[in-house]
Amino acid sequence: MMTFVEAAIQILRQNDNTPMSATEIWEEISKQQLVQTTGKTPAATLDTKLRVFQQDSKIDKDDLKRQNSKGTVLFVSVGSPAKFKLIDSLVVNGSCHVPTIPILPEEKTEESKSVREALYQIVHESIDWKRLSIYRSDVGIEYVVDDCAMLTYVMDDPLAKTVKIGRTKNDPIDRNKQLKTGNTRLTFNHAFPSSLYSESMLHDMFDDIREDKDHEFFFYTKKLAKFIDEEKNKHDKVLSTYKKMLDLSCSEKDMLGSL
């Protein structure tokens, strides 16, 4: 069995070093059974351990074998809430052993100048279910469209007055068609990038209204309805703003081309 940190390194490598939250990393660790733990909040424990390795602190031999030097940084975090990614040397290094990396003052590093704060992330079929990320940086607002590794979907069963919260790597509309073979009443409602809301995050958030403790169905209460409506409103406003930005960009190009 691996330690928490060794397992996190392996998961991030497997996912091409795509930034992931501690909860998302733990979900993959748990699926692959890389770590044995009796703790009740392993994702929170992992988050704490990953944050330790962003600081100038002594490495615990139980966390990373053969490495006990000071000043070692294994992870960097991006966005808010924090997502973790490996430093470049860990991406190419074949083992968990990493040489000591000097920690520079934050204001002198090139990384600190390019850090972006994620304001919102959405998925929408009009951009082929890719992730549209809106960032605030030192130069203003930045829009980035990229592939979405995992989607968290919400589907309604109007007759039972329940909502299914699950996840998929595919188009959630296609996933809805698959699920309809078992329940024809299921209707697609909304989808999030798992980086914004993971399946486990929403399950924890609405655990008190879960229909069955072992399943993904939740009673469609006012609490859940309000959350979905608020997120869909944010989604629509962000996508509308993005489309206006594209229209403005196209207009500017047309004007310049006619000069």
- The answer to whether residues 136 and 146 touch, using CB atoms and an 8 Å cutoff, is no
Please, what is the average pLDDT of the chain? 78
Higher pLDDT, 46 or 106: 46
Highest mean pLDDT among 95-104, 113-122, 152-161, 206-215: 152-161
User: Quick check: pTM over 0.75?
Assistant: no
Would you say 134 and 120 are in contact if contact means Cβ atoms under 8 Å apart? yes
What's the pLDDT score for residue 71?
41
Locate all alpha helices (DSSP H) within 180-219, ordered by sequence: 199-205
How confident is the model at residue 90, as a pLDDT?
56
- Give the pLDDT confidence of 158-187 residue by residue, as tens digits: 999 999 999 998 899 999 999 999 999 999
pLDDT at 233: 93
On whether the CB atoms of residues 19 and 195 are closer than 8 A, the answer is: yes
Q: Where are the alpha helices (DSSP H) in 53-141?
A: 88-92, 110-114
How does pLDDT run across 52-104, given as a tens digit for each residue? Answer: 776 433 444 444 433 433 345 678 888 777 888 887 655 544 443 333 333 33
Band (252; pLDDT cuts 50, 70, 90): confident
Tell me what pLDDT residue 156 has. Answer: 95
pLDDT value at position 139?
63
Q: Which amino acid is at 149?
A: A
CB 100 within 8 A of CB 72: yes
- Record the tokens describing residue 161, joined without a space: 């007055």
For the chain, how big is the Rg over CA atoms in Å? 21
What is the arithmetic mean of pLDDT over 23-46? Answer: 86
Q: What is the mean pLDDT of residues 213-224?
A: 88
